[in-house]
Amino acid sequence: MNYRNLPMVPRVVFGNGSFDQLGDILLPQRKSSDAPMIFLVDDIFEGTQLISRIPLICNDQIIFISADEEPKTDQVDLLADRIRDHFNELPSGIVGIGGGTLLDLAKAVAIMLNNKGKSYQYQGWDLVRKPSIYHVGIPTISGTGAEVSRTTVLLGPEKKLGINSDYTTFNQVLLDPDLTKGVSKEQWFYTGMDCFIHCIESLNGTFLNAFSQSYGEKALELCKEVYLEELDPSDSRDKLMMASWHGGMSIAYSQVGVAHAMSYGLSYLLGVRHGIGNCLVFQHLEEFYPEGVAMFNIMKEKHQIALPTGICGALTENDFEIMINVALSLEPLWENALGKEWRKLISPEKLKSIYQKI
Ligand code: NAD
Ligand code: ZN
């Protein structure tokens, strides 16, 4: 047996208002006055007070980026080129401020600033050869676990797939639950359910081990508190941020499952975003995750979330085939969900029948 030797985030700060420590945290990482810190920030914060709290010095730069679409390999390459062209020296670091979209962009740009070629060439497992530059993740919405994971999920020319590598993981994470205050109820639910689904898929998977289980159970307990109990809003933000962290740690040493595989298909063909895509699929997976789906429905009712319908209504045979191929290509996810003999247990027709319900 060859056990995986996983990197973890070496430094993390947690607490309301901890964002104001960012200047002190970055200072020792600054290489020279010509090597700036680059802040990749969700453009939802443009013009808000948060921007004035970013500790800019010398030629540091803020780049605002929309999270309306999930990150793409072309976008990563353009950003890395733009930063390389604009400065004489490589930046001292990249700081991503936002949800999973901005966190993944920050990770990918930090890798590409120190590696040759195009980012799509690194989509897969352990293809990155050189360490990325110093990079920091600051989540402003909780659930994806992108702040702890060793992957950055990118939409490439041929596939939606992560750059999974030891160099992807952040060097520093800053968890300030106050930053999540402005998230809409719907987005809070969709991104939070990403965490809930990570737990269900990890805890019910064949790859489960005591390491994953310990994190998965804690994350699930926190999700239940947040989505089923009446918590004080500040307590709820704290707990969801830590649920996201533990959920991410849980899948680091196991895998996700059916909902994620099928959600990747939806996202690849239709651009459906990760959180809502997982919810759209998960609601129809009672056959695979009976208890999880029952709990999901209770949470959905409690928070009066109405998921869109008819998403796959007008799709052609070819469209279904594309989604099914993307989903089935994610072999480790199916093996985790259904075991080594998964091919005997699932078929393209079965997947089509689930997609048709969405
Ligand atoms: P997101 O970054 O896509 O943002 C969702 C929406 O919330 C956006 O409209 C954004 O502007 C808004 N938002 C974010 N913070 C806000 C705030 N404080 N106030 C108001 N609005 C705010 O959301 P997400 O669900 O966190 O991330 C999804 C992405 O994460 C996908 O691209 C997915 O592939 C990726 N992902 C990565 C991993 C990983 O391990 N790397 C894991 C899961 C998902
Ligand atoms: Zn996910």
3-state SS class at 313: coil
Distance 2 CA to ligand 1 centre (A): 34
- Reported ipTM: the value is 0.99
299 Cβ inside 6 Å of ligand 1 = no
- Distance between start and end Cα atoms, the chain: 40
Q: Please report how many Cα atoms fall inside a 13 Å half-sphere around the Cα of residue 144, on the Cβ side.
A: 26
Residue 159's pLDDT is 81
The per-residue pLDDT for range 119-165, each reduced to its tens digit, is 999 999 999 999 999 999 999 999 999 999 999 999 998 888 899 99
**The pair of three-digit structure tokens given for residue 203, joined into one six-digit string:** 């805890």
Q: Please, is 304 exposed, middle or buried when counting C-beta atoms within 10 Å of its C-beta (0-12, 13-18, 19+)?
A: exposed
| CATH entry 3.40.50.1970 includes domain 11-180 | yes
Q: Which residues lie closer than 8 Å to 326 by C-beta, 6 or more apart?
A: 159, 160, 264, 265, 268, 269
The per-residue pLDDT for range 43-55, each reduced to its tens digit, is 999 999 999 999 9
The per-residue pLDDT for range 322-355, each reduced to its tens digit, is 999 999 999 999 999 999 999 999 999 999 999 9
C-alpha span between 142 and 205 (Å, rounded):
23
Strands of the 135-139 sheet, one edge to the other = 11-14, 172-175, 135-139, 93-98, 37-42, 61-65
The residue nearest atom 40 of ligand 1, judged by CA position, is 146
The residue nearest atom 33 of ligand 1, judged by CA position, is 274
Q: How many residues does the chain have?
A: 358
CA distances in angstroms from 316 to 269, 322, 356, listed in the order given: 12, 10, 11
Distance 34 CA to ligand 2 centre (A): 37
Q: Please report how many Cα atoms fall inside a 13 Å half-sphere around the Cα of residue 154, on the Cβ side.
A: 30
For the chain, give every residue range classified as CATH 1.20.1090.10: 185-357
Hey, which CATH number is domain 185-357, 3.40.50.150, 3.50.50.60, 2.50.20.10, 1.20.1090.10? 1.20.1090.10
Distance 175 CA to ligand 1 centre (A): 15
**The pair of three-digit structure tokens given for residue 315, joined into one six-digit string:** 């799709």
For the chain, give every residue range classified as CATH 3.40.50.1970: 11-180
Q: Which residues pair with 39 in a beta bridge?
A: 62, 95
Q: Output the CA torsion sign for 327, 329, 330, 332.
A: positive
* Predicted confidence (pLDDT) at residue 303 exceeds the cutoff of 90: yes
Residue 274's pLDDT is 95
What's this model's pTM, rounded to 2 decimal places?
A: 0.97
Which band of pLDDT confidence, cut at 50, 70 and 90, is reported for residue 178? very high
153 Cβ inside 6 Å of ligand 1 = yes
Residues of the chain above pLDDT 90, percent: 97
